[in-house]
Amino acid sequence: MTIFLDGKSLTMEQVAEVAYEHRPVALTDEAKVNVQRAADAVQKLLNDGVVAYGITTGFGAFKDRVIPLDQVEKLQRNIIISHAVGVGDAFDIPTTRAIMLIRANTLARGHSGIRLSTLQTLIDMLNAGVHPVIPEKGSLGASGDLAPLAHMSLVLIGEGEAEYQGEILDGVDAMQRAGITPVILAAKEGLALTNGTSVMTALGVLETLKAEKLSKVADIAGCMSLEALHGTPTAFDPRIHALRPFPRQVECAKYLCQLLEGSQFTRKHD
């Protein structure tokens, strides 16, 4: 079943399904309209000769340097190339897929100015299993996952490296094998692709889901230990835990009671 992106309703469970189970992804009609509207707004700025940061100017210390219109595409390509300076081992495939998905979902909100065709190419890569090689180290944290997202974007423009069907290939070769045409970035697209926190969000989502699974396993193991010792479940009575202002404690006690319901190995409190 396809997961539709609108920038607002993606759940952690859906991220896991795309990351681990390779569920297909598509944009909602609303997202397509919003993305196109923002791209049209960027094009209007260009047509009107408006000086706009990251569109017709440089970045950071070069914010006051106006970029000629015939250099706008090169500027966006350069921001990808110049920021692809990550180091260390590459993220595993599920994490890479989560990164790509979350970046696509963010762009689907229609506030970044990216063209619909460019966003669709990123989604096509995800659906086809073209996984950019993204080094684990290099993020600026809250200032943005600039370096890792630049490595993700390299493959989008036919550069860098990618895993495809079990092989590590040059980005352009991986795209060619998958039947996907690399993108020539337009105004603001390099900035839109890299200026975000999709990497740390992906890591946070996957680790949170792992922690939730571990928590359930711990509860199950605890109940099995209680049964092995012929203990009493009286301590998990919800009336006891309702006295404390800790919702997760109440939830945990309720879950333990459910697990132990009908057990033949526990005893009532003497």
Active site residues: 53
Label the pairing between strands 25-27 and 3-5: parallel
Q: On the CB side of 213, how many CA atoms lie within 13 Å of its CA?
A: 8
CA distances, 251 to each of 225, 238, 240 (Å): 20, 9, 12
β partners of residue 163: 131, 168
The pair of structure tokens assigned to 212 is: 């939730």
What distance in Å separates the CA atoms of residue 88 and residue 261, rounded to the nearest whole number?
49
The pair of structure tokens assigned to 4 is: 């539709």
Backbone Cα Rg of the chain: 24
* Contact of 94 with 161, CB cutoff 8 Å: no
What distance in Å separates the CA atoms of residue 204 and residue 183, rounded to the nearest whole number?
29
Tell me how far apart the terminal alpha carbons of the chain are, to the nearest angstrom: 53
Distance of CA 9 to the CA centre of its chain: 13
Question: Coil, strand or helix: which one is 181?
Answer: coil
* Contact of 257 with 236, CB cutoff 8 Å: yes
